Structure 1
Amino acid sequence: MALWTLFGLTRGKATTSWPRESGRDGQEGVLGMPRYNPDACREGCQECATVCPTHAIQAQDSGLSVDYGRCIVCQLCTEVCPTGAMEPSNDWAFGVRNRQDLVWSDRPVHHDRHSTPERAAFKRSLHIRHVDAGSCNGCESELQALNNPFYNLHRLGIFFTPSPRFADLLLVTGPVTSAMFEPLKAAYQAMPEPRWVMAVGTCAVSGGIAGGGYACRSGLEGVLPIDVYLPGCPPNPAAIMEALLMFLDRAPQRVAGGQIGG
């Protein structure tokens, strides 16, 4: 008997029952997006906006503007906030279909796009082509974890393919460097219709730390049409899985107006 077979028999099934059933998502104790509590914000205080490296938090006359599409989850804002207006949280499921849902609002409204007949046909099977458009490889590390025994993405009917010609969804990481601009567009053009695009990681959503520099753009906006936005630096495997299922209408979108629901 092979050693790995014996190990499996003695240890039992390693794959989590989540998200099909209640079970571990593998993110216990992991910090997510900082939670904004405007009622606790002290008038005139701009300490969180001052330390934010990506300008996800900006001071305005009416208070703070918080854009989670720019957040790299560095937690600096929670460390300097004197009142708890920015506090740590475990809010990691920030996949949305509309960019505006990542901007904090005191009157959150879902800008959800309803399923189309074209996308409905892919609910049970989806093939993904991943393109690294200048990532630091943090997102790639999390993507690799999707195929480990714990998450086992294939059980959900979702697969990665090496060719864009067999892909339904183009998953892009990185801020879109100048060197990857044309290869990225070529990969998209090679995909058959219908085709969709998912921006994974804050770099792909808004440029992240490097966005707007001499060597890269500020993410996918204006380069390709985006169907799913998932910020994070990097987003964890559970967040990626949930965003993919949300795209397939197999899971609800949890975020509206920068605020996460159940």
Structure 2
Amino acid sequence: MALWTLFGLKQGFATTRWPAPGGDDGQADVLGMPRYNPDACRDDCKACADACPTAAILTAPSGGLEIDYGRCIVCQRCVDACPADAMTTSHDWAFGVRRREDLFVEPDREPPAPPAATSGFRRSLHIRHVDAGSCNGCESELQALNNPIYNLHRLGIFFTPSPRFADLLLVTGPVTNAMLEPLKAAYEAMPRPRWVMATGTCAVSGALTGGGGVAQHGLGDVLPVDVWLPGCPPNPAAIIEALLMFLDRMPQRVQGGVIHAE
């Protein structure tokens, strides 16, 4: 018997009970999206906007900030630059949404209505992953989904090597020009009904690597996107939560760029 088998038998079950109540999501103390407190923001200050490397933060014409969490790479530079604690650290690492607009904080806009469940998908989920120019940070997190801790298969979710057997196309990277046609070919090969998930900030908006004549600004202008999950990279638990949200097995917690309690 292999030593790793003996070690596994000695240690017992390693798989977390999460997302069941009382389970450990494995993300203790992990930094998430910076949290914006508009009441603390100074009207004459734009230090966080100047510090943001992806233009995720802009000053609103009427005062305050406009924030696009779909462009945020979680670098925390805005937190370091803010002199008034308007931008603070948080553990808001799960930012999956069904609507792109739910990643925006806009002071002049009415809070959006809660999104309706859209997929209607209730069976086991098969995913085809396409790397469309990623730095491989997202791929590292995706690989962790099948380790003994997260064990994605226990949730009825599987990766498939062929788009012809896939329900969901999971895309990482900003969609480089070299991957544009292969990506479209993979999508066209999927049986209907079919869905698309933009995973990682590059896939959501292009972030630092989009544009420049060599890549798109994310997936939205290429394919119809059903799930948006920013992060650089999103951790395994965030990916699982977004997938379960798509399956209507977990609620969408982010609305208007703010995480709301369940």
Same fold judged by TM-score > 0.5?
A: yes
Alpha-carbon distance in 2 for matches of 1:197, 1:150: 26
Q: Could you list the per-position Cα deviations for residues 148-187 of structure 1 after superposition, in whole angstroms to 9, with x for gaps in the alignment?
A: 0000000000000000000000000000000000000000
Which residue number corresponds to residue 194 of structure 1? 193
Unaligned runs of 5+ in 2: none
Alpha-carbon distance in 1 for matches of 2:132, 2:48: 30
Which residue number corresponds to residue 48 of structure 1? 48
Alpha-carbon distance in 2 for matches of 1:231, 1:92: 9
How far the C-alpha of 1:9 sits from its partner, in A, is: 2.3
Which residue number corresponds to residue 85 of structure 1? 86
Which residue number corresponds to residue 202 of structure 2? 203
Matches within 5 A, 1:91-240: 91-105=92-106, 107-110=110-113, 112-115=115-118, 119-120=119-120, 122-240=121-239
1:135–1:173: 8 Å Cα contact kept in structure 2? yes
1:203–1:209: 8 Å Cα contact kept in structure 2? yes
How far the C-alpha of 1:213 sits from its partner, in A, is: 1.3
- When the two chains are superposed, the root-mean-square deviation of aligned CA atoms in Å is 1.2
2:70–2:230: 8 Å Cα contact kept in structure 1? yes
Local SS of the residue matching 2:24:
coil
Unaligned runs of 5+ in 1: none
Local SS of the residue matching 1:49:
helix
Return the letter of the residue paired with 1:166: F
Q: Could you list the per-position Cα deviations for residues 116-137 of structure 1 after superposition, in whole angstroms to 9, with x for gaps in the alignment?
A: xxx43x4240000000000000
Q: Could you list the per-position Cα deviations for residues 70-108 of structure 1 after superposition, in whole angstroms to 9, with x for gaps in the alignment?
A: 101010000010010000000011000000000014543
**Alignment coverage as a number of residue pairs:** 258
Alpha-carbon distance in 2 for matches of 1:195, 1:78: 39
List 4+ stretches of structure 1 deviating above 3 A: none
Alpha-carbon distance in 1 for matches of 2:208, 2:254: 23
Alpha-carbon distance in 1 for matches of 2:72, 2:184: 26
Alpha-carbon distance in 1 for matches of 2:189, 2:114: 30
Alpha-carbon distance in 1 for matches of 2:238, 2:148: 17
Return the letter of the residue paired with 1:46: K
Alpha-carbon distance in 2 for matches of 1:199, 1:142: 14
1:110–1:257: 8 Å Cα contact kept in structure 2? no
Which residue number corresponds to residue 31 of structure 2? 31
Which residue number corresponds to residue 254 of structure 2? 255
Alpha-carbon distance in 2 for matches of 1:241, 1:123: 16
Local SS of the residue matching 1:65:
strand
How far the C-alpha of 1:2 sits from its partner, in A, is: 3.6
Local SS of the residue matching 1:33:
coil
Alpha-carbon distance in 1 for matches of 2:230, 2:196: 14
Identity %: 72
Normalised to the residue count of structure 1, the TM-score between the two structures is 0.95
Normalised to the residue count of structure 2, the TM-score between the two structures is 0.95
Return the letter of the residue paired with 1:98: R
Between stretches 99-108 and 73-82, larger displacement belongs to: 99-108
1:108–1:259: 8 Å Cα contact kept in structure 2? no
